[in-house]
Chain A
Amino acid sequence: MSAELDEEALSHLRRRVRLIGILSAAEEAGLVSLPTQQLHTVGYFADALAPVWGLRILDARVLKLRAGPTSPLLQADLDRLVGIGVVIVSAVRHIEDADGLWRLDADYCLNRTLAQPILDKARTFERFATELDFLREVIFALSGLGAMGILSAGTSDASYGDEMIDLGGMVDIAGDESEPNATARVAIRFRELLQPEIALSDSEMVHLYVRELYRRLETND
């Protein structure tokens, strides 16, 4: 019982540290505040690409909506971080999304005073340090798409863009060790194609995957 509780508590902690890491890296890349949908999309990619770095997926099921990947779990974590003052919310508004649904939207950024000590402490643990490095690369790679590009990145993604999953359905990216989700498999495929001439690093695979999404988005335009 106790072990289960510990695991659950750790999972909560990791999800929150991940959100703080995402907003921190976004700021470094010049995306000072992230609107709700972009944040959900970035969170989705942070999970879908996690197996490339040998990291665990924290939120394996997202809702497939026209607006993009949407995770109730991520929103709950975000609301909690806003509640304790680590994340600052601004430009709160009602918007009608692409599915014709009215929902609350806002921009999110870090309260550095409270967030930095959390990040500094997390970095002292190897597991969290690796996770933060990974998140940095995911955000850095996605930042090149620009705010609008991030919004539409999901549609071209190997997992979320799967035409076999209808809008309103759940996208499951859990996979397993021998068979990761389609997004991670495509990213890993870059390494397989270049071997033995070059062994790509984990970071290179993430960046190349996002460039492939970019190429597809450009082609679709």
Chain B
Amino acid sequence: MTEVLGLPIPGWEDGDLRQTANANFGLGNDAGLPESIRFLVGVARAIRKRHQEAGMGSEQTPAIFFLRPTGVANVSEEMRKQPMLDNGQTQLGGSFWFVGPPVCRALGLPVPDWSEDGKIFDKAINDLDLGDVPAVFFDPRGKRPTLRHYPAGLARADEVVVSALTGGMDIDRVIEIIEDETQAHLDGPAGGANLWKDPKKHWPSDRAEKKIQFALKVAMHHAFPTAVIREEQPQMAGRLDLEVEEPLLEEGEFIRHAILELKVLRSFRSTGSKVSPKEVREIVKEGVGQAISYRKERKAKSAALCCFDMRVKSAREKCFSGVTAKAEREKLELQVWPIYASAAERRAANR
């Protein structure tokens, strides 16, 4: 008997629901991600589930997943319809899989002889005309199984991103990913993140935090496709911004690697009203307190306060003075990245 809002629902046992939740840890967490990243995350989850159900050695042969749920027309053999590809029951290796962004319903095309990767790629690119279809190559043959993500298709090997299926999610790597994402998309107006309401006046958008949070979530998923990245988890001290979890092979078990508290430092609000240096110091102090508290509450391995400095150049003092000792004592990472309002400002800073 399940009780929701005080009302029993006969036939829906809590134990069954827990089991389903544990068996499908993180399912649906990828909603809202760009299609190509959601596809990568879905493939990673399907493989993890396969490893959970059949063991790490269950897959010996590679597979290629294509983001084209309708499959290909120019093949002689009929493609196999596979509902719930991600339930761990289906042998994944030795096939081309055609899936949508959620990677559950699939069409499979067996590849009987996988002795040479080159020939397989050739078949996909030239015979089946799949060279420009986003793809993920799953290779279980090395010491650690890897995923090779081709967001622009197998024919664009120069754009491949390689990721491991397990591990590597320590705080140093997390910070590195934020650094890369900031430089690629956030710290200048050309990055496309649209963080400014009026860059000429140095007025940040009132949604700057949300936009940064989303950009970092996408970047984390891209770098750690097996991770579950949670936003806005409610806590005693507020709502934490981002959390990096690594599901383990035991159902429902996971490691909570990092808590990230994100703060935007401003000289002006989106309305143009001024933000005083004292207010900025208070925001940083508050962020330190929140990050430490969240890490303890959530029993995370590490935490970082990540500040995105959108203040005018003259105001960019050292923003962590007064909090470094506490952060060090509590093993809290403090990071700040400048966000420039113009390409000229960015160029000048990098000179």
How many angstroms from the CA of A191 to the CA of B26 in the assembled complex? Answer: 12
Contact partner of A158 (CB less than 8 A), chosen from B9, B18, B85, B107, is B9
Contact indicator B31/A137 (Cβ below 8 Å): yes
Q: Is the interface of A mostly helix, strand, loop or mixed?
A: helix
With most chain A CB atoms within 10 A of its CB, the pick from B7, B16, B21, B107 is B21
Contact indicator B233/A198 (Cβ below 8 Å): yes
Residues of chain B within 8 A (CB-CB) of A182 are 9
Residues of chain B within 8 A (CB-CB) of A119 are none
**B100 in contact (CB, < 8 A):** yes
How many angstroms from the CA of A136 to the CA of B101 in the assembled complex? Answer: 11
What total of chain A residues lie within 8 Å of the partner, measured CB to CB? 43
**A30 in contact (CB, < 8 A):** yes
**A143 in contact (CB, < 8 A):** yes
Given A186-B2, A189-B4, A199-B234, CB of A140 within 8 Å of CB of B16: no
Contact indicator A186/B17 (Cβ below 8 Å): yes
**B322 in contact (CB, < 8 A):** no
Q: Is the interface of B mostly helix, strand, loop or mixed?
A: mixed
Given A182-B9, A185-B9, CB of A146 within 8 Å of CB of B83: yes
Contact with B along A86-102 (1 / 0, CB 8 A): 00000000000000000
B38's closest neighbor in chain A, by CB? A140
What total of chain B residues lie within 8 Å of the partner, measured CB to CB? 43
Contact indicator A185/B69 (Cβ below 8 Å): no
Residues of chain A within 8 A (CB-CB) of B4 are 185-186, 188-189, 192
Contact with B along A202-219 (1 / 0, CB 8 A): 011111100110110000
Contact indicator B21/A30 (Cβ below 8 Å): no
**B105 in contact (CB, < 8 A):** yes
Contact indicator B9/A186 (Cβ below 8 Å): yes
B35's closest neighbor in chain A, by CB? A28
**B104 in contact (CB, < 8 A):** yes
How many angstroms from the CA of A143 to the CA of B106 in the assembled complex? Answer: 10
A76 to chain B, nearest CB (A): 29
Contact indicator B5/A185 (Cβ below 8 Å): yes
How many angstroms from the CA of A193 to the CA of B13 in the assembled complex? Answer: 11
Contact partner of B17 (CB less than 8 A), chosen from A180, A190, A196, A201, is A190
**A194 in contact (CB, < 8 A):** yes
A83 to chain B, nearest CB (A): 27
Query: Which residues in A have some Cβ–Cβ distance to B below 8 Å?
Result: 28-32, 133, 136-137, 140-141, 143-146, 149, 158, 178-180, 182, 185-186, 188-190, 192-194, 196, 198-201, 203-208, 211-212, 214-215
**Additional A-B contact list (11), CB under 8 Å, known A29-B101, A189-B14, A203-B29:** A140-B104, A143-B100, A143-B102, A149-B83, A185-B5, A193-B21, A194-B21, A198-B233, A204-B28, A206-B28, A208-B20
